């Protein structure tokens, strides 16, 4: 069974970048993955001054609107790095918040699909022909967390503090 997610108040809403599961990356706290992702669009660009404004946005919707403003110039390598930026944030989110990590792992090997009717890159789009990169990132993170748990479970426990991840 494929698992579709989109709005934070729907089942599996914790998979949304708008869910209120903050992350800390490189010593900076971000209220949501959406805040972090939108701000990263401007790192090193002439419009980098918008980054603290995005970080301070009261809601993920506000952060998204600030990051999607077409009058600002994105960093030159954005198309090359945006998936890895998203993956870093999502991995951090699910390693930080064990409750939603359990939800992610509970999906087994099911296909995860962001059911966005308008986003054909991160989601599946209204006609389900989109690339679903967000779902793919989540499935990749799910697998990485499983592998981390497995490697911790089979590591020798002679001196446990040496084997913590």
Count of structural domains, the chain: 1
Over residues 121-136, the pLDDT tens digits come to: 999 999 999 999 999 9
Domain that includes residue 34, residue range: 3-163
Instruction: Indicate whether 157 pLDDT > 70.
Output: no
Here the CATH number for the domain that contains residue 85 is 1.10.357.40
Instruction: Indicate whether 163 pLDDT > 70.
Output: no
- Which residues 6+ apart lie within 8 Å of 43 measured at CB? 51, 75
C-beta of residue 148 within 8 angstroms of C-beta of residue 165:
yes
DSSP 8-state assignment for residue 5: E
Helix H, strand E, coil C: the string for 17-82 is CCCCCCEEECCEEECCHHHHHHHHCCCCCCCHHHHHHHHCCCCHHHHHHHHCCCCCCCCCCHHHHH
Rounded to two decimals, what is the model's pTM?
A: 0.91
Q: How far is Cα 19 from Cα 34, in angstroms, rounded to an integer?
A: 9
Q: How far is Cα 42 from Cα 51, in angstroms, rounded to an integer?
A: 7
Burial class of 43 by CB neighbour count within 10 A (0 to 12, 13 to 18, 19+): middle
């Amino acid at each position: 069974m494929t698992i579709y997610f989109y709005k934070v108040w729907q089942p599996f809403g914790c998979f949304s970048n708008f869910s209120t599961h903050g992350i800390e990356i490189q010593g900076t706290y971000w209220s949501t993955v959406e805040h972090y992702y939108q701000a990263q669009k401007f790192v090193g660009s002439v419009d980098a001054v918008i980054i603290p404004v995005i970080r301070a946005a009261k809601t993920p919707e506000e952060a998204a609107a600030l990051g999607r403003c077409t009058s600002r110039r994105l960093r030159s390598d954005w198309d090359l790095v945006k998936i890895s930026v998203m993956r870093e944030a999502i991995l951090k989110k699910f390693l930080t918040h064990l409750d939603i990590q359990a939800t992610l792992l509970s999906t087994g090997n099911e296909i995860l699909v962001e059911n966005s009717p308008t986003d054909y890159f991160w989601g599946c789009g209204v006609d389900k022909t989109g690339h679903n990169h967000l779902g793919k990132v989540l499935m990749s993170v799910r697998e990485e967390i499983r592998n981390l748990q497995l490697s911790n479970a089979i590591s020798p426990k002679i001196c446990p503090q040496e084997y913590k991840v």
